[in-house]
């Protein structure tokens, strides 16, 4: 069920009870930290996202609040080989569990493979999506094949460099003959 919940001020507990499904797109400029990674002057395609909140029943206890977050973006970053812009797709597909306090979140996050966050009164979904996309950026962005050949430093030919270097044994022989 799609509701008119505000993704910038989301009541995640209510959304989970109502099984809200939100989706949309934001221009990359609406996510300023992610936009800083962009090196190209060309406008990037908008960030596509969706969020499905749910309340999972637990035997003999209160239900668990979960959020399934999906987001796709394309960011032009500097290739670490040739320094030219390279457009890279960045995607997130993550389940996040929300618990009542920071202490509980820290304890569960350390013991679990699931992402666990403390349940806020209001959740800025744009900020959470931006955080997740930033974590998904490649550490070393690069082209599969750089568009221009990489400059190769000029190296002397093998024979020239061998002639230029003195033979270490000849140097030792000179030292030995002096004594």
- Edge-first strand listing for the sheet containing 61-78: 21-26, 47-58, 61-78, 85-99, 115-118
Could you tell me the residue ranges of all domains in the chain?
Answer: 12-178
Tokens matching residue 106:
């820290």
pLDDT at 3: 44
* pTM of structure: 0.75
Burial of 61 (0-12, 13-18, 19+ CB in 10 A): exposed
- Whole-angstrom Cα distance, residue 127 to residue 68? 15
pLDDT at 156: 58
Q: Are 25 and 48 a contacting pair, CB within 8 Å?
A: yes
- Whole-angstrom Cα distance, residue 90 to residue 28? 12
Cross-strand bridge partners of residue 118: 99
Cα-Cα-Cα-Cα torsion 110, 115, 121, 123, nearest 10 degrees, comes to: 140
Which one-letter DSSP state was computed for residue 150? Answer: P
Angle at 42 between CA 40 and CA 48, to 5 degrees: 95
pLDDT at 31: 95
Nearest in space to 26 (alpha carbons), one of 49, 12, 47: 47
Phi, psi of 50 (to 5 degrees): -150, 150
Write out the H or E segment, with its range, that includes residue 17: helix 12-17
pLDDT at 157: 56
Beta pairing, strands 21-26 & 85-99: unpaired
pLDDT < 50 positions in the chain? 1-3
């Amino acid at each position: 069920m799609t509701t008119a919940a505000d993704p910038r001020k989301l009541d995640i507990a209510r959304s989970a009870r109502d099984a809200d499904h939100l989706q949309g797109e934001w221009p990359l400029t609406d996510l300023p930290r992610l936009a800083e990674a962009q090196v190209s002057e060309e406008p990037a395609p908008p960030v596509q996202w969706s969020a499905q909140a749910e309340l999972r029943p637990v035997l003999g206890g209160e239900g668990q609040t979960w959020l399934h977050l999906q987001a796709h973006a394309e960011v032009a970053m500097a290739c670490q080989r040739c320094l030219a812009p390279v457009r890279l797709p960045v995607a997130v597909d993550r389940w996040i569990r929300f618990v009542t306090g920071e202490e509980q979140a820290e304890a569960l996050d350390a013991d679990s493979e699931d992402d666990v966050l403390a349940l806020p009164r209001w959740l800025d979904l744009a900020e959470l999506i931006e955080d997740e996309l930033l974590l998904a950026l490649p550490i070393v962005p690069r082209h599969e094949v750089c568009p221009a050949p990489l400059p190769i430093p000029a190296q002397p030919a093998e024979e020239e460099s061998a002639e230029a270097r003195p033979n270490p044994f000849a140097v030792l022989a000179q030292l030995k003959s002096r004594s």
